[in-house]
Amino acid sequence: MNELIQKAKSLLESDTVQVVIGYGKGSADKTRAIFLTKPEDCDQLLFDSRCVQNLAVYLTKHEIKHLGKPAIVAPIPVLRSILQLAVENQLKESDLVILGVSPESKLIEFDSFGAIELFLNAYKIQIDEKYKATIDKIKAMPVSERFAFWIKELEPCFKCYACRAACPLCYCPKCTVENNQPQWIPAASHLLGNLEWHVMRAMHLAGRCTDCEACYNACPMGIPIHLLTKSMLQDVEEHFGPYGPSVGKRNTLSSFNPDDKESFIR
């Protein structure tokens, strides 16, 4: 960890970056995102198994961008998000310094997105068996039962949009739901409105979601919304082949590939 702190310090001291986005001590026994602008504060940085928040979300936030060029502490989920953001033209290599953290908590520096991709090849997105079983169970339900299941699961949602705020890929300055000319997605958190919001959110992440579970972790009501994106991920993989963000590759759902199976059309 010392390595990380030293690196962060030197980056700030040399003014290579103006802010370091990392994990620090939060309330109770939790960790939280911290934004360090002074070298002497870098001792606050920590990294352990509690650090599950996806820090990549801050890279596109106006308030953080305005602090200057960032360095970001990036365990695997953050690396994936960075790549996906790059695919979507939201990040350039020169925009940030990546302080990669390997699963063994070793500091790895990446000088290019290509290097991240190479590194991530060893850590393909894989959906946990326990989730697979749950998703299969839900998919096996008859339509009416499945509808009832989701209506019930989504009932506690009160549209705090924490899921949206936590997701590194929800970076639109004006979200669909904030469009009221016309208001396609109802803003109210009634049953149908909740369903429409979450289905829309999952659809917007189809072929983009990197399975970091930040949305689920952020949900104050513990709604299993990550099942929707995971299921979508499975579908994308089934129809369009193995999926993972790759710079220079066109987005799965927005591009046509003659090798696509298209079995759902024919």
Footprint of other proteins on this chain (CB under 8 A)? 88-90, 171-176, 179, 181-182, 184, 204, 250-251, 254-256, 258
Cα 114 to its chain centre, rounded Å, is 19
Spatial neighbors of 175 by CB under 8 A, at least 6 apart, are: 161, 164
Q: Residue 11 or residue 214: which is nearer to other proteins going by CB?
A: 214
Identify whether 182 is preceded by a cis peptide bond (ω within 30 of 0).
yes
Q: Residue 133 or residue 172: which is nearer to other proteins going by CB?
A: 172
Q: Residue 152 or residue 249: which is nearer to other proteins going by CB?
A: 249
Cα 189 to its chain centre, rounded Å, is 24
Q: Residue 100 or residue 168: which is nearer to other proteins going by CB?
A: 168
The candidate with the shortest Cα–Cα distance to 8, out of 140, 80, 101, is: 101
Q: Measured from the CB of residue 87, what is the shortest distance to other proteins in angstroms?
A: 9
**In angstroms, rounded to a whole number, what is the distance separating the alpha carbons of residues 133 and 175?**
32
In a 3-state reduction of DSSP, which class is residue 76?
helix
Question: What are the DSSP E strand ranges found in 143-256?
Answer: none
The candidate with the shortest Cα–Cα distance to 17, out of 26, 25, 8, 29, is: 8
Q: Measured from the CB of residue 112, what is the shortest distance to other proteins in angstroms?
A: 21
Q: Residue 47 or residue 58: which is nearer to other proteins going by CB?
A: 58
Q: Measured from the CB of residue 188, what is the shortest distance to other proteins in angstroms?
A: 16
Spatial neighbors of 127 by CB under 8 A, at least 6 apart, are: 135, 211, 230, 233, 234
Q: Measured from the CB of residue 179, what is the shortest distance to other proteins in angstroms?
A: 5
Q: For 33-108, where are the alpha helices, taking DSSP H only?
A: 62-65, 76-87
Q: Residue 14 or residue 89: which is nearer to other proteins going by CB?
A: 89
